[in-house]
Amino acid sequence: MRKWMVVMAMVLMTALVGNGSQAWAAEGFYAGIQVGAVELEDTETDSSKGEMKTGYVLSGSAGYDFGYVRLEGEIAYRENDLDKTNISNTNADSNGDVNAFAFMVNGYFDWENRTAFTPYIGAGLGYARVEIDGKATYGSNTTVEWDDHDSGLAYQLMAGLAWDLSDTIVLDISYRYLDCDDIEIAGTSNWGFTAEDEIDYESHNFMIGLKWFF
């Protein structure tokens, strides 16, 4: 996570001290793809806590650039593997993953200037489907399995830097915070009981990609 933040900071500094090279400032319809790393906040319930490994995100988008303002639709997939689980204050031997499909409508404001670098901020609103698939064993012989999903309203906040490589191709580096609260999940024990809880899906995404203008 720190390495991604250092890389982004260096690119932003490069933009700020740019030598005034001419920007193409493309407008019109565009499509883009992005990949990156995902840091998922701990998933907590009343009786358990799951710590997640760094995961990945894949994203595709299409939209229209009006100049200083952009509007787009985005589909993204995120996945994080389970690292550690604590159930009833007991560390558990666990494995599994948490993944999410997000369908978002995003709006951006671009700070266009005389350089080839364009900083931007944005916000998005949409829908996310979160799925949990995992298994944890704790105590002497108690096992809990999760294989459940739920959906809900999601929002995201973005900040990034676009670098015009040509009049039709743009390199995009960004940070995104995605949040989808009150996801209901159910875990089933080998003793026959089912526990239902709610978690909040909060992720920090460090992404890089390309946009093509038509």
Residue pointed to by tokens 């952009």:
70
Instruction: Say whether 14 sits in a helix, a strand or coil.
Output: helix
Instruction: Say whether 7 sits in a helix, a strand or coil.
Output: helix
What is the distance between the alpha carbons of residues 192 and 30, in angstroms, rounded to a whole number? 52
pLDDT for position 36: 98
Give per-residue burial for 6-33: e unless 16+ CB within 10 Å, then b: eebeebeeebeeeeeeebebbeeebebe
Q: Which residue type, as a one-letter code, is found at position 52?
A: M
Q: Which residues contact 161 (CB under 8 A, 6 or more apart)?
A: 8, 11, 12, 15, 117, 118, 119, 120, 172, 173, 174
Instruction: Say whether 26 sits in a helix, a strand or coil.
Output: coil
The secondary structure of residue 22, as a DSSP letter, is: P
Judge contact between 77 and 69, C-beta under 8 A. Answer: no
Q: Which residue type, as a one-letter code, is found at position 81?
A: D
pLDDT for position 21: 44
pLDDT for position 94: 79
Q: Residue 31 corresponds to which tokens in the numbers above?
A: 């499509």
Q: Residue 121 corresponds to which tokens in the numbers above?
A: 């901020």
What is the distance between the alpha carbons of residues 214 and 208, in angstroms, rounded to a whole number? 20
* Model pTM above 0.85: no
Question: Using one digit for the tens of pLDDT, what is the confidence trace for 163-187?
Answer: 999 989 999 999 999 999 998 888 7
Q: Residue 106 corresponds to which tokens in the numbers above?
A: 């995003």
What distances in angstroms separate CA 73 from CA 61, 70, 123, one per listed residue? Answer: 6, 10, 12
pLDDT for position 20: 42
Question: Using one digit for the tens of pLDDT, what is the confidence trace for 24-60?
Answer: 567 899 999 999 999 999 887 766 778 889 999 999 9
pLDDT for position 135: 83
The closest alpha carbon to 163, from 130, 121, 201, 120, belongs to: 120
Per-residue pLDDT of the chain (214 residues; tens, 9 = 90+): 545 544 454 444 444 444 444 455 678 999 999 999 999 998 877 667 788 899 999 999 999 999 899 999 999 999 999 888 877 777 777 788 999 999 999 999 999 888 999 999 999 999 999 999 988 887 777 788 888 899 999 999 999 999 999 989 999 999 999 999 998 888 787 777 777 788 899 999 999 999 999 9
* CATH number assigned to the domain with residue range 2-213, chosen from the 4 options 1.10.760.10, 3.20.10.10, 1.10.357.10, 2.40.160.20: 2.40.160.20
The secondary structure of residue 46, as a DSSP letter, is: S
